[in-house]
Amino acid sequence: MRLTGVIVAGVGDGARFLVIDWVRAAIRAAAGFEPYPGTLNLKLTDAEAIRHWRAIRGRAGARLVPPDPTGCGGWLVPARVEGEVPAAIVVPDVTRHPDDVLEVVAPLHLRAHLGRGEGQAVTLETLADAGPRR
């Protein structure tokens, strides 16, 4: 499924989350890459894309399990950015973002690689099916 959104500013939580050793190891294991220490936040603007994303995020992905049961975990939905860059959409158990804002991790700094900034469109292709979560 393809989802298009526009780049929006984050709140800085992604960068703090992505330097935690167990998070990095879980992303390497589930997505197959070493994550760049920051996320690209995309706001979905199309009602159909939002509806599709809600269906996928509720059923697909790999679990991020913190070693401390009181820690914040989440889910990873594998994706590809602009048809070329391997990525994953992080769905944290606790977030300050509305559900139409996606936090995307990749092995490189996506804004710089794509040459895009705030308000510019980016397309993701989700690689997980909409079957039951693992």
pLDDT greater than 60 at residue 129 = no
Class of domain 2-126: mainly beta
Q: What tens digit of pLDDT does each residue of 59-102 get?
A: 668 888 788 877 777 889 999 999 999 999 988 776 667 788 99
List residues bridging with 88 in a β-sheet.
Answer: 78, 105
Is residue 25 exposed (0-12), middle (13-18) or buried (19+ Cβ within 10 Å)? exposed
So what's the pLDDT on residue 86?
A: 96
**Encoded tokens for 59:** 């059923």
Domain extent listing, the chain: 2-126
So what's the pLDDT on residue 94?
A: 64
Mean pLDDT confidence for 1-29: 86
Counting Cα atoms < 13 Å in the Cβ hemisphere of 76 gives 26
Rounded Cα distance, 34 and 17, in Å: 14
What radius of gyration, in Å, describes the C-alpha atoms of the chain?
A: 14
